[in-house]
Amino acid sequence: MMFRRILFHLLRGNRVRLAVALLALTSGGAVVSALMNLDLDVTHKLTQEFRSLGANLVVSAPRTDANTSSAANLIDASEIEKIEQLKLAGVNDAPYLYLVAHASSDSGPSVVVAGTWLDRATQLAPWWKISGESGIARDDLAHCLIGRNVAASFHISPGTVLDLNYAGRSESLTVAGVIDAGGAEDNQVFVNLPVAQKLAGLDGKIQLIQLSVPGSAAEMSSVVSHISGALPSFDVQPIRQITEAEGTLLHRIRFLIISTGILILVLTALCILATMAALAMERRRDVGLMKALGGSIQKVVRLFLAEVGILGTIGGILGYVFGMALSVWMGHRVFGASISPRWEVLPVTVALMLLVSLAGALPLRLLGNVRPAVILRGE
C-alpha cells in the first residue's frame, strides 16, 4: 500500500517532465506502430497489385534441339488437371496454344491466334479493357475476342463474323469483344482452346500453361516446388521481370520501414534519457530522505522503474491508437489503398515502448550514489 501511495505522489509531483516523457513515448509509439502496420498490410496489398500484372509463372515443355519435331515441344492438355488437383490456394491457371492463321482465306492477311480458356484468360489479365462482351464461357466455340489493332486492320467490330484459316482448315467465329491491352495482345485473336486445337490439328495439345500465383517470394517457391513435383518432366519457371520487380520493391519498402523505425526508437530513447536525467537531479533530496528512513536502494530503484514502466505502457497504448489512425491516413495519401488496423501490432508497440522507457531510465541508477547525510545537511 505504501509503495502505491509513494508511486502515486511521484507521478503527481513531476507532471510536467513526465508529460514530456509520455509525449515522446506516445509519438514514438505512434510512428513505430504505423510503420509496422504499413509493413504488414502494404506488403499484402502490393502483392495483390502485382497479381494484377497478370501471370507470373509459366509451365512449358523442356527445350529440344533443332532436329526434334515441334510436337515434342507440346504438352498434353490433361496435364493441367494435375495442377488443379494440387488445389493451390488463390492460383489461377490457363493453357495456351498459339498459331499463325489467315483471315478470310488461306491467302488472306495473317494473324496470331491464341487458344486458351477465355473465362480464365480475362481473370489473368484484369487490366484488359474490353469493348463488347467479355464473359465468354470456355465451352463457347462460336465467339472470340480480338485485339484493337486487329479490329482496326480488318475493320471489324463486335458482332462481325471472322473467318480463320490454317492448313486447309477453317473456323467462322463471331467477334464478341475488342481488347485494348496496350501490349502484344492487341495484335492477337483469342479463341477458346478447342477451336485453336482444331485449326492446328493438335487435338488435346497445348504449348504452355500460365499461372498467377499470389503471395511472397517464399510462397512462390513453394508453389513452384509443388508443381515441379506434379509435372517433373516440364519446365516450371517464374516470369523474372515480374517476380524480380516485386521482390526488389518489397525489399526496399521493408528496409525503409525498418530503418525508420529503428531511428525513431533511438530518438525516443534519447528524449527519455534527457528527461530522466533532469528528473534524477530533482529527486536527489527525495531519495536521500527515503534512504535515511531505512529504504534500500533496490526498493528505491524499483519504485522509479515502476514509474517509467507505467509511462511506457501508457505511451505504447496511446501510440498504437494514434499510429493506427496515422497508418490509415498514410495508406490513402501515399499508397492510395485502405490500410486495415492489426491488433497484433499492439503488444509489440507496448513492449517496444517499455524497452525504450527502461533504456531511457538509466540515469536513475545514479540515485544509488546519493548519500543521505549529505542531503540532510542541505549540501
Secondary structure (3-state) at 314: helix
Q: What is the mean pLDDT, run by run of 10 residues, along the chain of 379 residues?
A: 57 70 88 85 63 75 56 80 83 91 78 93 87 88 94 90 91 94 91 94 92 75 86 82 63 82 88 76 64 61 75 89 86 71 88 84 60 51
The reply to whether 222 falls in a domain is: no
* Dist CA 265 CA 315 (whole Å): 13
Q: Are residues 115 and 28 in the same domain?
A: no
Instruction: Give me the helix-helix angle, 240-282 and 15-51, nearest 10°.
Output: 180
Q: Are residues 71 and 153 in the same domain?
A: yes
* Dist CA 69 CA 230 (whole Å): 25
Angle at the Cα of 155 from the Cα atoms of 151 and 157, rounded to 5 degrees: 60
The reply to whether 285 falls in a domain is: yes
- Of 211, 237, 268, which one is at a domain's C-terminal end? 211
Instruction: Give the number of domains in the chain.
Output: 2
What are the strands, taking DSSP E only, across 157-312? 161-166, 169-180, 188-192, 205-206, 208-212, 235-238
Question: Under the phi-then-psi rule, with left for phi > 0, alpha for psi from -120 to 50, and beta for the rest, what region is 168?
Answer: left
Residue-level pLDDT at 277: 72
Residue-level pLDDT at 300: 66
The reply to whether 236 falls in a domain is: no
**Alpha carbon distances (Å) from 345 to 224, 262, 271, 319, 323:** 32, 16, 23, 11, 10
Q: Are residues 20 and 116 in the same domain?
A: no
- Of 161, 183, 211, which one is at a domain's C-terminal end? 211
Count other C-beta atoms under 10 Å from residue 317's C-beta: 15
- Of 166, 193, 211, which one is at a domain's C-terminal end? 211
- 339 CB-side CA count, 13 A: 28
The reply to whether 219 falls in a domain is: no
Encoded amino acid at 190, one letter: F
Residue-level pLDDT at 67: 47
Q: Are residues 27 and 69 in the same domain?
A: no
b (16+ CB within 10 A) / e for 266-290: eebbebbbbbbeebbeebbebbbeb
Angle at the Cα of 87 from the Cα atoms of 82 and 91, rounded to 5 degrees: 100
* Residue 276 in grid coordinates: 530522466
Q: Are residues 68 and 204 in the same domain?
A: yes
The reply to whether 240 falls in a domain is: no
The reply to whether 158 falls in a domain is: yes
Contact between 103 and 156 under an 8 Å Cβ cutoff? The reply is no
Q: Are residues 196 and 278 in the same domain?
A: no
Q: Are residues 94 and 199 in the same domain?
A: yes
Q: Are residues 170 and 37 in the same domain?
A: no
Q: Are residues 98 and 42 in the same domain?
A: no
Encoded amino acid at 236, one letter: V
The reply to whether 241 falls in a domain is: no
Containing structural domain, residue 130: 64-211
Residue-level pLDDT at 298: 66
Q: Are residues 44 and 69 in the same domain?
A: no
Q: Are residues 156 and 120 in the same domain?
A: yes
Count other C-beta atoms under 10 Å from residue 332's C-beta: 12
Q: Are residues 185 and 272 in the same domain?
A: no
The reply to whether 123 falls in a domain is: yes
Find where cell 528512513 sits.
293
* Dist CA 336 CA 125 (whole Å): 21
